[in-house]
Each structure stands twice: as C-alpha cells, then as structure tokens.
Chains A and B, each alone.
Chain A
C-alpha cells in the first residue's frame, strides 16, 4: 500500500462538515487546514449548501480536483457509504476519525469497513482516531489550533494507539524543542497498523527516529512487527502500556505463569534490538537523543560538572542504569588538571566526575570537554551546566557543541530549562546537542545510545 498521498496529501476532502455547528470535529479540521496550512481542503456535506461563503460539496465526486486524502468524520453508520464514495471517486486514502466501532461493541461495522477497503486496496487510518499531523503541512486532529501545542518539524515520527497520549506527548516534545516528522493516531488500526506505518517510516527521508505508543498487538502481529523493526536502519522506540498483568487467569504451567504478557513483550523487544521506553520521560529522552545521534556507544560515561552534588547524583543514576563512570587514569587526570584555569587548579577534582566548582569559567568546560573527547577511556560526555556560576557566559553551550562537531564523540547536556537560560539551551539544541531539563533525563539520553545496536 502506498501511504505517501495519505500521510503527505496535497488535497483533502473533509467529509461531515456541518452547516451550523462550528464545533463539529469536521468543521474544526476543515477550518484549521483551510486557514493556516498549505494543503488544499474541500468541505463535503451530502446536503450541500455553503459554509462561511465556501461551497459545500455534496459528494466527493463533485470536487474538481484529485483528492489525496478523505478525512471522514460522520456518524459510524454512514462511514461504509462514504468509504464507497471515496473509492468510486478515486481518492487515494482515508482517515476515519469517527468512533462507534469495535471499541464500543460494533465489531460488525468495523469489519464492513475493512472488507470494503481491502477489496479496493484502499488504505485508511482509524477508525476512532485523531488521524494525521504533519508539521507545516496538514493536521486532522479535531482540536482547535489555539488549544494545541505545535511541535516544530524535525526527525521524530510518533505513532500512537491513543489520541490522548499522542497529544500529550506532542506537548512534551514541543516543550523540549524536539521536532516531529509525523504524529499519527491510529485508533482501532483496522487496516493500517503499526507494521504498515513502520514500513513507510523506514523509507521516509524526513524521519530519523520512529517512536510508538502501543497498548497491544493483534494476534501474532507482534512477531511481524519485531522482525521488521529489527531490519530498520533507524532506531525504533516503543512505550507499552498495560504492564501489570491484572486479572491473570489461573494457569497450570510455570512457563505461562512466569511468561506474562508484558514480560514476553519486553524481552522480545530487547531480543530484536528495539528500544523499550519504560515511561514518558524515557520516550522523550530516547527520542531526542537518538534524533541527534544515530550511533551506538559503550557504557563508559565521563561527567563534567560545575557542582559536586550534581556530579554525585549523575553517577548514582548512571549506576542504576548500568552505565559506568570509570575513574580516569592518572595520565588523563594530570592532563585535565594542567589545562584548568589557575583559580580552580588546586580545588577542582578531575577523577570523574570532573568537578570544576563554582569558580569555573567557560574555558575550563571547553578544555575538559576537548580532552575527554579525545580520550578512549569514555564513550560519551555528559555536561552538567549550572548557569549560576558567575564565570559562565551565554556563549558556552554553542562553543561546547563545536567540540562535538570537531571530535565526533557524543555529548549530552543537562541545563535547567527556564526562560532565563533560553540562549544557553538553544546553543545546545540548535547545534544538535541533546539538552535535558533534568540530570536523569540527560543520563537516559546516554542510555539510549548504549541500548541502540544498529
């Protein structure tokens, strides 16, 4: 199935637009695309008429243009007929936003949609979904623009079974400055499921990292998914909900009892090199990090900090994650110390973490980072940048990112994310250094690179 016209349409028909209810999902979708996005939209309502001076088309066949995507937001019972109309009119694909199918006991109605679509090889997303958000191009989410947070365009594609979770993740990604290539809510995934989307995203040049929120796979669908994800040249991250096997039935074998659904899910993912995010923080941190660096690292982390306490906390988190913070060789320690500014030369500790103290100046961070970048003793540098120290300037983050450009060793930053330090944050993020708002987030970013095994 060719999903290109469906996910990157030039023309869209919005079916179900109401003449008198501007809050109707179809109206919200029509309005936001019509006013603000480059995709061309045509409103459809079988009764015809006009909306805010625009003609409402009675059927898709009346639209004087080839329609790439039909967004269907009509009552569930009408959906099969609309689908048939789409197929007759040569539409390339659909997004069935409407609910009222398998999720509410109408499996029969959903099966009718599937049968119609399969016979005509007509791909559609949903039903019971928010549909497709492609930054800067189109948006089928029935949430008014002013209520949405819009992530910039970037390299992460996020695919979710739940629309609510997806919107919430988009807020978090936007807050962290992580750009998206696509946000997709697949709802009941009647025809297009994780597997089809994965195949599409593997070939999508805008996508660097593929992230999924999954509640569960259909029968045997997990098997095909992990095999396909294993072959993906791009990192695949999965956040799974439903980890506790509540209401586990009485089982008569130890294997069935010890191999609960989630344990199988988690271990099979690892077997096939898919990165499991255990929670939302991991999903965000892994996505941001792997979007900057599609590379695998060993477990040795070198930490540079302006505060001894932050260094100690970072070491603890590394050790909980199974990452190492090896003590530097005496030769390396000597070299680091020799290059420190005179005021901290006697008080800094250089064993790992390198604690540059509150009297640090930019050049101490720069020199230490450069030396660690060239050392084989560590695989990744974590910089804990506390902008409170008076010797730190707003140029430091952009300068540090140059070291990464020159030396090639992955660098990750922790910096408090408050407006006052925006320029330092952007000095990292705009120069492709992932920057976390918490120490834990920064260590998780390093962990992502260690787990990624291309």
Chain B
C-alpha cells in the first residue's frame, strides 16, 4: 500500500509530468530518506524568516514547472550569505518563467554522488549509483542493479565504481559513511518498488556523502506518461 500522502504528491504532479523539487523532497522525507532542512517559500518574507531560523549561509533554488534543469538557467545559488543577497536572488528568480517560489535549504557538503532509478522496459525498476554532480554525464562512472536491492548488491555497486576509492577514503580524505549510504540505497530501493508504476525515472543528484551522513541535496522525479502505463 502506497502512503496516501505520497500518492497525493504524485497525482498532483501529473499535469507537469515531474515533481517540483520541494514536493520531491517532501516525498523522500515521508519515505524516510535524509533531505536537508528546507522550506518552499512563496514570498521573500517567508524565505528570509526561514533563512534566519536555520542560519545563513543557505542555498536558494528556483521553483518553477519550467525549470527542470535549474543549473542551466542559473537557478541554484549555494552560499546565499545574508538578507541582501537573498533579496537579489529572489528578484532575479521572479523574472524566470512560471516562477512558483523559492526553495531555501541548509547547505550540505560532501562527495557528490548520484542515486537514480528508472523503469526499464525489459527488467522493470532498476537502481543506479554513480559519481554525481553536474558533471555526471562526463564522468560516466555509474553502476546499475535490478531492484529491489539487497545489501550484497550495494557492496558490489560501490566496488563496481571506477572511483570507489573516493568513497572508501583517499589521500587523507576520510571515507564516506558507508552505512548511511547503504541505508539510503536500500530505503530508496524500497520506495522505488512502491512507486515504480508511476515513475519513468528519478535522479537524486547530488547526494552529498560525508563521513557523517548521506543527504539528498536535489531530487527530480519524472512521472510515467499515462498512455504508456501498460
């Protein structure tokens, strides 16, 4: 049985074809996946109040059904340090197409990974793990497994990456919290199995992995088109 609130989030995104980032984060949070402290602010005042509460600097992102690739339109500002720069960012965002608010969240850092899912025609839901960030398609360092994942799949996924040493600790950098990464992948796999009929693909990119935790810093959920459901 799918959680009712998750069902609601997915069905209200049907018209757009994908789930807006704040709603995607809320969905992940319901499913037990770690996301940064965030608020979908509709006004500058709301945004500023929340930024004050969690403390500057914060990350500010455009929310718009037209902005599926936010970086391409300069829609992500990491390290907004005070009210003045928040105000300026807000002003700029307002002029972007179908502005629907501003997403304020705490800054998370770590090794940028991608965790993804897609519904494959031949194999059904599959899960992807790789080196993430905006350069994800340049590195092309990813592994795929059929869902649901088992713990041993996660071990072999990490080992299967060319850059696995970055995760296991390299040249003085502490290793990533493998337990947290494993839990995240297994929980994500569980969520994907539940909603695979509704989705075409999901990108959690980047997932910020440090020695303390793994946090989903951005999420894109693309819904399956109704006519291709069966």
Flag whether A255 is at the interface (Cβ < 8 A): yes
Pick the most buried of A219, A223, A259: most chain B CB atoms within 10 A of its CB: A259
Q: Contact at B200–A256, with CB atoms within 8 Å?
A: yes
Q: How far is the CB of A225 from chain B (nearest CB, A)?
A: 9
Chain A residue numbers with a CB within 8 Å of B153 are 271
Give the residues from 185 to 225 in chain B that come closer than 8 angstroms, CB to CB, to chain A.
200-203, 205, 220, 222
Chain A residue numbers with a CB within 8 Å of B4 are none
Flag whether B108 is at the interface (Cβ < 8 A): no
A271-B142 contact in complex given A216-B122, A217-B122, A220-B124, C-beta closer than 8 Å: no
Flag whether B58 is at the interface (Cβ < 8 A): no
Q: Contact at B137–A257, with CB atoms within 8 Å?
A: yes
Q: How far is the CB of B223 from chain A (nearest CB, A)?
A: 11
Q: Contact at B123–A226, with CB atoms within 8 Å?
A: yes
User: Which of A61-69, A261-269, A361-369, A390-398 is the interface stretch?
Assistant: A261-269
Q: How far is the CA of A256 from the CA of B220 in the complex (A)?
A: 12
Chain A residue numbers with a CB within 8 Å of B130 are 258
Flag whether A221 is at the interface (Cβ < 8 A): yes
Q: How far is the CA of A256 from the CA of B224 in the complex (A)?
A: 12
Q: How far is the CB of A251 from chain B (nearest CB, A)?
A: 8
Chain A residue numbers with a CB within 8 Å of B156 are 271
Q: How far is the CB of A436 from chain B (nearest CB, A)?
A: 29
Flag whether A254 is at the interface (Cβ < 8 A): yes
Q: How far is the CB of B72 from chain A (nearest CB, A)?
A: 11
A226-B146 contact in complex given A219-B122, A255-B117, A255-B118, C-beta closer than 8 Å: yes
The size of the chain A interface, using a CB distance under 8 A, is: 26
Q: Contact at A253–B202, with CB atoms within 8 Å?
A: yes
Flag whether A246 is at the interface (Cβ < 8 A): no
Pick the most buried of B114, B142, B156: most chain A CB atoms within 10 A of its CB: B142
Minimal Cβ-Cβ distance residue in B for A255? B116
Q: How far is the CA of A199 from the CA of B202 in the complex (A)?
A: 34
| Interface majority SS (helix, strand, loop, mixed), chain B | strand
Flag whether A330 is at the interface (Cβ < 8 A): no
Q: Contact at B144–A263, with CB atoms within 8 Å?
A: yes
Q: Contact at A259–B142, with CB atoms within 8 Å?
A: yes
Flag whether A252 is at the interface (Cβ < 8 A): yes
Q: Contact at A221–B122, with CB atoms within 8 Å?
A: yes
Instruction: Compute the total of residue contacts between A and B using a CB distance below 8 Å.
Output: 90
Chain B residue numbers with a CB within 8 Å of A261 are 120-122
Q: How far is the CB of B146 from chain A (nearest CB, A)?
A: 5
Chain A residue numbers with a CB within 8 Å of B146 are 223, 226, 268, 271-272
Pick the most buried of B69, B124, B156: most chain A CB atoms within 10 A of its CB: B124
Flag whether B140 is at the interface (Cβ < 8 A): yes
Flag whether B128 is at the interface (Cβ < 8 A): yes
A254-B120 contact in complex given A226-B146, A267-B145, A268-B145, C-beta closer than 8 Å: no
Pick the most buried of A218, A222, A254: most chain B CB atoms within 10 A of its CB: A254
Q: Contact at B114–A254, with CB atoms within 8 Å?
A: yes
A267-B144 contact in complex given A254-B137, A254-B205, C-beta closer than 8 Å: yes
Flag whether B68 is at the interface (Cβ < 8 A): yes
Q: Contact at A255–B140, with CB atoms within 8 Å?
A: no
Q: Contact at A264–B122, with CB atoms within 8 Å?
A: yes
Chain A residue numbers with a CB within 8 Å of B201 are 251, 253, 255-256
Q: Contact at A267–B122, with CB atoms within 8 Å?
A: no
Chain B residue numbers with a CB within 8 Å of A253 are 116, 118, 200-203, 220, 222
Pick the most buried of B120, B145, B156, B205: most chain A CB atoms within 10 A of its CB: B120
Q: Which of B68, B128, B205, B222 is close to A259, meaning CB atoms less than 8 Å apart?
A: B128
Q: How far is the CA of A264 from the CA of B124 in the complex (A)?
A: 10
Q: Contact at B122–A255, with CB atoms within 8 Å?
A: no
Give the residues from 95 to 139 in chain B that come closer than 8 angstroms, CB to CB, to chain A.
114, 116-118, 120-124, 126, 128, 130, 136-137
Q: Which of A216, A252, A254, A259 is close to B144, meaning CB atoms less than 8 Å apart?
A: A259
14 of the cross-chain contacts (CB-CB < 8 Å) are: A217-B122, A222-B123, A223-B124, A252-B222, A253-B222, A254-B116, A254-B205, A255-B117, A256-B200, A258-B137, A261-B120, A265-B122, A268-B145, A272-B146
Top 9 A-B pairs, shortest CB-CB distance: A255-B116, A222-B122, A253-B201, A217-B122, A222-B123, A267-B144, A256-B201, A268-B146, A255-B201
